[in-house]
Amino acid sequence: MATLLTEKVIEIGFDIAIRTEVNDISNSFVIVHKTMMDARYAMQLDSLRSRDCLLIADPVDGKFDVCDFDIYDAIISASFAQIDWLKRVLPGKKCFFVNQRLDCRFPLPAGHLGEFRVGYFGSVDNCAHINEIRRYVDIIETPTHSTLWMQKLLQYSFHYAVRPKVDGVFKPFGKGYIAGLYGAPILVGRNEPDAKFLLPDDYPYWVPYGDPAATLDLIRQARDSFLGERWSYASDVMQKISRLASDSTIKSQFVEMILELVERRKSGCYIKPLSNLSAGLVSKLRGKYLGG
């Protein structure tokens, strides 16, 4: 992501860097990854304010309480559902949508889909109804240290993306963007938060949550409609959605965020150094790390 954004950021007068330590950072916009958003780092992050920094939370795919966002000037997320939730629970906090980038190591689409094949790309722990679907769906693990599995994206004309429900965790629609890149429709659960923001109500391969029989029936329907009108409509929908994760779109979203933050900073619309954190966050720090 940093590689993608570097040139654009330099054009507007900024540098960009990835850091694991905060002690030497000053006069910067600091985007804080979900790992560093743990409450134990709150005081360390808040110290950045005395060095003229603005803090931007990046909580996607993590589980946080509302009070965890107290020390941040703004929030960035690649989840439409998370942005919607944040705007409701923190109406005074500025939130920016910047999409998730597809891995640049993915193979280029081949332009044809061949036979009907169903693949699930991801961890088996996140695959719903795995015992019921194994006869019909190939399970492809996606280790980050390897690219071998990526070549298999060219072999599947239909993607399975039904996941167990996890309350309080917002995931971008990454599986949808990937499927759309290859023109493949996707079977997705009604419980998938971002899918509800992106897929139309008449998308033909929605499946009710927690219903393995309906899931298997829809896989059979997809097979029977392969390359037909219904299937082609779903393929068109997915390809349009995939363009939301294009490099040009992401660069524009990020630059627009930076420019708006610059203007807000000039106008004084940012949080001052906190000599006393909010009562909610202090309570959490005491309970979790100070034993009282």
pLDDT per residue as tens digits for the range 117-147: 999 999 999 999 999 999 999 999 999 889 9
CATH 3.30.70 describes domain 2-102+246-290: no
Confidence at residue 151, expressed as pLDDT on a 0 to 100 scale: 94
Q: Mean per-residue pLDDT for 103-114? A: 85
CATH topology of domain 118-245: Rossmann fold (3.40.50)
Structure-token match 């294009």, residue found = 246
Cα separation of 275 and 286, whole Å? 16
How far is 253 from 250, CA to CA, in rounded Å?
5
Residues 6+ apart with CB under 8 A from 44: 22
- Sequence ranges of the chain with CATH classification 3.40.50.2000: 118-245
Q: How many CB atoms lie within 10 A of CB 240?
A: 11
Task: Say how many C-beta atoms besides its own lie within 10 A of residue 115's C-beta.
Answer: 8
Q: Is the pLDDT of residue 279 over 60?
A: no
pLDDT in tens, 242-253: 999 999 999 999
Q: How many Cα atoms occupy the beta-carbon half-sphere of 96 within 13 Å? A: 22
pLDDT reading at 276 higher than 50: no
**pTM value?**
0.86
Mean pLDDT, rounded, for 9-38: 84
